[in-house]
Amino acid sequence: MRLVGFLVIVLLLTASCTSVDPTASAIEVYEQACARCHGNSMGGGVGPALGPGSDAESKPDESLLTAITNGRARMPSFRNQLTEAQIRGLVEYIRTVQRDG
Ligand code: HEC
């Protein structure tokens, strides 16, 4: 029983730290958490462009994952807002936009 209680507390704590709906698809996460700095179509703004022809296009996935997880310069860290799966989903979404415009 103690273990169950502990797990419930861990789940509650994890849920309360997540400001973005964990079931939101990558595109929704992007719109909620990233578009205000990187632009609606990844054309850039406060942050650099991420779409086709951007610097991010020529960087490895690891570099993008690290930037999103830890933050970089004026970009905040998303470690406490997003799950690792969501961050990977975002990188996949960014790659899709880079390929298809
Ligand atoms: C407060 C504004 C802001 C928000 C919100 C933000 N970013 Fe950024 N982002 C930046 C800035 C500024 C940089 C450039 C940092 C630097 O100078 O290296 C950056 C850099 C990046 C990079 C690295 C680009 C490269 O060429 O290496 C990626 C990838 C990235 N952001 C993705 C995201 C994603 C995905 C989100 C949403 C989860 C997000 N950003 C939210 C401002 C922001």
Pocket test for ligand 1, best of 19, 72, 98 (most atoms within 8 A of CB): 72
* CATH value at residue 95: 1.10.760.10
Number of separate domains in the chain: 1
46 lines ligand 1 (CB under 6 A): yes
**Prediction pTM value:** 0.84
Q: What is the pLDDT of residues 73-91, one digit of tens each?
A: 999 999 999 999 999 999 9
Q: Which long-range contacts (CB under 8 A, 24 or more apart) does 95-101 make?
A: 95/61, 97/41, 97/42, 97/50, 97/51, 97/52, 98/50, 98/51, 98/52, 98/54, 98/56, 98/57, 99/52, 101/51, 101/52
Quote the longest CA-to-CA distance of the chain.
55
69 lines ligand 1 (CB under 6 A): no
Show the domain range for 31.
2-100
Q: What is the pLDDT of residues 7-45, one digit of tens each?
A: 666 666 665 555 666 667 899 999 999 999 999 999 999
